[in-house]
Amino acid sequence: MSKPIYELVDELPSGGITVMALKSLDFLIPGQWQNITGFDNTIRAVTGETDEGLIQQIGERAVALFNDKSQGYQRALWLYETVEAGSGLLATAALANRIGQDTFLGFLKNFTPKPEKAQSIDLCVKLVTELVAFCQINGIPGDSIGDFLASLGDYSGESLMRMAALVCFDGIIPLGPEFADKALSSFQGTSPQELEGNQTYKSVQDLIPGGNSAEKGGFIAQSFNSTKGWMNNFVSSTGVTRESLLSRLKGFIEFTDDKADYLGALLDMNVKYYRHTGLQTLARRLIERAVAEI
């Protein structure tokens, strides 16, 4: 890691398009996510502690845990950062002639929507990245689908927001309400060679369980299929629709209805929700463990 964990958390933005996009999902999980930034602020929020000496002690222990490479914390952060970078590359490549365009609408017209196959692979890989990062943070084998599913039912705060954003920004908006079935069907028809050509997969393949791309693809499909029920239940229980998402995004992104298909590319390129909420999850877990050990 190029920067210490406390500095990365200190640098989390309090505003901007990522934060606005995440706040636009509050209507689905009211009050679940607060954009806590700053390492000391996070310690106070997680522990309720006010003693500055103890806050410093907790922070030092959390930093030491993160720096211990025998733990999985650095690998989890690498996953959160890398999968987002890989996903954004295709959107970035689709951007042409952005120079001189001042509004979101101005450069939305220069995007092309991702092909459905590429979008499906991205969604499935992002989901399995969440599973593997969960295993790394909790020190359990990276193929523990059952443990992940059991924990998913208890997701809250920034972790629940990350899954909500995955469902909405990478599922419903680009693929429609039946995104889970559509993505799984498309992914299952993907050859190992096609998978290896996907930038999102290539960016994180080293930490996905399996000896080769065929085995890794099988694990991704199994993981996505196992989690599909949770995602479908999230959609049905919240009543979220593509229209409700677009109406809220229009509050801060300028686009017309005939350009809605291009919105997924804009979100891929500019909304870094995986890294943002991933860092918040990581900081929380480190602090909780530091407190328990102290």
Q: What is the 3-state secondary structure (H, E, C) of the chain?
A: CCCCHHHHHHCCCCCCHHHHHHHCCCCCCCCCCCCCCCHHHHHHHHHCCCCHHHHHHHHHHHHHHHHCCCCCHHHHHHHHHHHHHHHHHHHHHCCCCCCCCCCHHHHHCCCCCCCHHHHHHHHHHHHHHHHHHHHHHHCCCCCCHHHHHHHHCCCCHHHHHHHHHHHHHHHHHHHCCCHHHHHHHHHHCCCHHHHHCCHHHHHHHHHCCCCCHHHHHHHHHHHHHHHHHHHHHHHHHHCCCHHHHHHHHCCCCCCCHHHHHHHHHHHHHHCCHHHHHHHHHHHHHHHHHHHHHC
**pLDDT surpasses 70 at 175:** yes
The confidence band for 90, taking pLDDT boundaries of 50, 70 and 90, is low
pLDDT digits (tens, 9 = 90+) for 107-120: 555 555 567 888 89
Distance CA 270, CA 21 (A): 10
Q: What is the per-residue pLDDT for 265? A: 73
**pLDDT surpasses 90 at 85:** no
Mean pLDDT (whole number) for 60-77 = 95
pLDDT digits (tens, 9 = 90+) for 123-161: 999 999 999 999 999 999 878 999 999 999 999 999 999
Q: Which residues neighbour 260 within 8 Å (Cβ) at sequence distance 6 or greater? A: 173, 242, 246
**pLDDT surpasses 80 at 239:** yes
The confidence band for 99, taking pLDDT boundaries of 50, 70 and 90, is very low
**pLDDT surpasses 80 at 11:** yes
**pTM of the predicted model, to two decimals?**
0.90
**pLDDT surpasses 60 at 93:** no
pLDDT digits (tens, 9 = 90+) for 193-219: 999 988 889 999 999 999 999 999 999
CB atoms within 10 A of CB 81: 19
Percentage above 90 pLDDT, the chain:
75
Average pLDDT, the chain: 88
Q: What is the per-residue pLDDT for 102? A: 40
Q: What is the per-residue pLDDT for 268? A: 81
**pLDDT surpasses 70 at 285:** yes
The confidence band for 180, taking pLDDT boundaries of 50, 70 and 90, is very high
Locate the domains of the chain by residue range: 5-293
Radius of gyration of the chain (CA): 19
Q: What is the per-residue pLDDT for 231? A: 97
Q: What is the per-residue pLDDT for 97? A: 36
**pLDDT surpasses 50 at 100:** no
Q: What is the per-residue pLDDT for 96? A: 41
Report the candidate in 91, 86, 158, 157 with the shortest Cα–Cα distance to residue 128. Answer: 86
